[in-house]
Amino acid sequence: MQGGRKKAKWLEIEGQLNKEQIGVYAVTETHLRDLEEPPHIDNYIWEGCNRIISERRGGGVGMLIHSRAKWDRVKQTCSEHLWVSGTVGGKKTWIGVAYLWTGNNCREKNLEIVKCISTDIKEFGHDAEIILLGDMNAHIHDLDGYSDSNGKLLLDLCEQHSLEIVNVGPKCEGQITWEVGNRQSSIDYCLMTEGIYDKLREMRIDEEGINSLGSDHKRITLQMGYKTENKNLESNLGSSYLNEKQITNIAARVEEEVDKLPGKDWKYSELLHVITKEIEKEKKTISWKGKRKPKSWWNKEIRDAIEKRREASRQHRQAKKEKRPQDEVNQVWEIYLEQKSIVQKLVEAKIKGESERWMTEIREKKKAAPRIFWSHLKALGRKSVTMQQHMVDEGGNQLEGYEALGYIRKVTADSFKKVAQGIPPVSKSMQKSTTEEDVVLENFNWKKAEGKIPKRTTPGLDGVPVSLINELGHSTKEALLKAVEKCLQEREIPDSWRKSRMNLIYKGRGEKDNIRSYRPLTITSVLYRLAMQAVKLKIETWVEQNDILGELQNGFRIDRRLDDNLFVLTQCIEISKIENRPLYVAYLDITGAYDNVNQEILWDILKEVGIGDDCIQLLREIYRENTVCVEWEGISSKDSVDISKGLRQGCPLSPLLFMLYMVRMEKALEGSNIGFNLSHKQAGAMVARKLPGLFYADDIVLFADSQDDIQRLADICGREGEALGLGFSATKCGLLVFNDHEYRAK
């Protein structure tokens, strides 16, 4: 860092720590003395090794360690270096930061420092994994063409302890670690043992000085975890945003291909191939593919100016490397400084112009001004993304990269293994229904189904966005819907419909290295979702016409909503208060509701309620051989996970199927004659009515007049849930009691 007594330097570091998730941030040349510490930075702990007042000025090393990172200081008495210990990929690892002196009469001091480092490494053990980095003020032949005394000390240390110099290896991006004026060199190094080097994804040297603005040294970043492999076409298809113009271009080209073959009976796979080919072709024209979308003020003029600045920087480095005359080196350096200034002024001017344009737009759009304002604020800067680098398994081992992903994949696979469970007999509360007609899987309402899919929904592995489906020409859409309907009627489910991708999303609470702190977000193909919306419309219409669902269930039903449940709940509370009688309300949470549905029991229930064999066989086929590709923090599992139980996440049919799965429990509650008494007079006659509870898909609330009755209702839910293979989370269930003073006294 050089000159850490200046507050501005620490503010620069604090800004970097706030933007990136850095477990350990090592610094050298802090210039701190005795017990001095840098300004406090939230969520980071400082460990320093300062020079004392009597020693020459300068020097000093330290580390900022994230409060949740499990790294502990060791070897408190070392000079000009310090160590912390922790684990990387489940292996005990020691990270050290060191500073070697420069100038006259420094050899003896550096011999002392390197000898101490060598002794430390021996004490850590022969199987210890070591990461040693810092300002070594050393020159080695591989980088600078010669080796000085510090360089020889460094090479001897590497040979003695079998350490790799990362700077000269293939995993290092960049070379120059120090630059002042027209002078540059490599004097900062990272050394690693072979085992930890295998876990290194890359080492990046900030040659452009983007993260090293307050120092003549270039920041070195170590990214642990195995390097991400190239993804296949399917995963690449869904990786870039397509704007309206590009969507229109793709739709037009696909329409041309379809119109070339009038009267052709297109297969689904043929049309999908044409569509994905045109998507891939269009995405090749996106200059920022794989990167974040450019700012609104970014244009070709700025891009060209930055390229000229980079070229000037390359010319300067080349001139020094070729040892051209000093006048020529100085000349290209001045050209670089000039280009750098041009870029800075140009960017400032563009930002100012964009801000003025935005203010003008705000003034003109009076009613829409708040929306534009907040949209602008949301777009400012890049969102700070916290990347989790490791997971901790049940044994306490810290896993990184593909090792962590392999652990996540194993947990996911175990949770979706088929459970060996017999199908229970038909419940007394649920005898086989008789219906006048079956679900007819033809003449689908495609327009309504298409309208049910959110406009901004994420595309699946096939990469087809919903905006493209909406934009398709008449011939293409007619051919596509005909092909989809044929797949449903002949039960020939495309392979792309069986595949989905699952991304783990942090819940916002709990340790980020614990897999239980994440919830899965599964993305299926948009075309699959379109087909399932059409099937859902058919099934739910049949369900409502035949009164399959009871009055307790209000989730995701036609002409029903959550507000209905809230109204009933508040009315019961008011009645309890007005009539001065007790009301017991129990909230039940089903553990992993959708994931724990037993598919064989589900098919049995669908048959019980009267859904015909054709529809059940289609659903069976849809659920056959489903797989999911697990993604976590930007990397994807090499092998898919087989899904043998549960309802499909990301499928429009799942809420309806779950409500049908819960019919037995609903009927059992309705037939119990237990619940909150809502008997009333109607046309002079007393109408007996008890409300046992309400359902909203997998959320259940029970109502009763007494503690005994609420327990009986809970027992019914427990018994029926056990038969369905479902359990309840004791920590997430709750009880509210209204107007029962005796209960409160207890």
Span 714-735, pLDDT tens digits: 999 999 999 999 999 988 899 9
Secondary structure element (H or E) that encloses residue 116, with its range: helix 107-124
DSSP 20: S
Contact 39, 77 (CB under 8 A): no
Q: Per DSSP, which regions of 356-480 are E strands?
A: 390-392, 398-400
Contact 183, 155 (CB under 8 A): no
As beta bridge partners, residue 61 has 28, 49
DSSP for 368-401 reads THHHHHHHHHHHSSPPP-----EEE-TT--EEEH
Helix (H, G, I), strand (E, B) or coil at 73: strand
pLDDT at 423: 43
290 pLDDT above the threshold of 50 = no
Mean pLDDT for 306-312 is 85
Number of neighbouring beta carbons within 10 Å of residue 431:
10
Q: How far apart are CA 270 and CA 259, in angstroms?
A: 14
The two three-digit tokens of residue 356, written as one number: 């003025």
- Specify the range with the lowest mean pLDDT, choosing from 229-243, 388-402, 528-542, 573-587: 229-243
DSSP 425: P
Q: Give the type of residue at 277.
A: K
Contact 190, 221 (CB under 8 A): no
Mean pLDDT for 109-120 is 95
Secondary structure element (H or E) that encloses residue 718, with its range: helix 707-724
Q: How far apart are CA 34 and CA 686, in angstroms?
A: 88
Inter-CA distances, 393 with 89, 136, 412, 485, 629, Å: 11, 37, 13, 45, 20
Write 532-536 long-range contacts (CB < 8 A, 24+). 532/622, 532/651, 532/652, 532/653, 533/449, 533/450, 533/452, 533/453, 533/652, 534/444, 534/445, 534/446, 534/449, 534/484, 534/488, 535/441, 535/444, 535/488, 535/618, 535/653, 536/449, 536/652, 536/653, 536/656
As beta bridge partners, residue 183 has 180
Q: How far apart are CA 452 and CA 455, in angstroms?
A: 9
Span 34-85, pLDDT tens digits: 889 999 998 899 999 999 888 888 889 999 998 878 899 998 888 999 999 9
Q: How far apart are CA 668 and CA 663, in angstroms?
A: 8
Contact 636, 235 (CB under 8 A): yes
* pTM metric for this prediction: 0.66
pLDDT at 376: 64
Residue with tokens 């979308």, as numbered in its chain: 293
487 pLDDT above the threshold of 90 = yes
Q: Which of 446, 466, 659 lies closest to 544 in space, CA to CA?
A: 659
pLDDT at 1: 56
**Strand ranges of the sheet holding 61-66, from the earlier edge strand across to the other edge:** 24-28, 61-66, 44-49
End-to-end CA distance of the chain: 64
Confidence class for position 228, pLDDT limits 50, 70, 90: very low
* Cβ-proximal residues to 744 (8 Å cutoff; 6+ apart), any chain: 737
Span 683-702, pLDDT tens digits: 888 888 999 999 998 899 99
Q: Which of 735, 708, 702 lies closest to 720 in space, CA to CA?
A: 702
DSSP for 595-633 reads GG--HHHHHHHHHHTT--HHHHHHHHHHTTTEEEEEEET
Span 183-227, pLDDT tens digits: 888 999 999 999 999 888 899 998 877 776 567 889 999 988 654
As beta bridge partners, residue 522 has 502
Inter-CA distances, 360 with 294, 355, 357, 363, 576, Å: 22, 9, 5, 5, 57
Confidence class for position 235, pLDDT limits 50, 70, 90: very low
Q: How far apart are CA 240 and CA 659, in angstroms?
A: 36
10 pLDDT above the threshold of 90 = no
Inter-CA distances, 327 with 330, 331, 337, Å: 5, 6, 15
The two three-digit tokens of residue 172, written as one number: 């290092």
Higher per-residue pLDDT: 512 or 196: 196
Mean pLDDT for 468-493 is 95
Helix (H, G, I), strand (E, B) or coil at 680: strand
Q: Give the type of residue at 126.
A: H
- Specify the range with the lowest mean pLDDT, choosing from 389-398, 491-500, 607-616: 389-398
Higher per-residue pLDDT: 316 or 25: 25
Length of the chain: 746
The two three-digit tokens of residue 478, written as one number: 């007619």
Helix axes 599-608, 654-661, angle to 10 degrees: 70
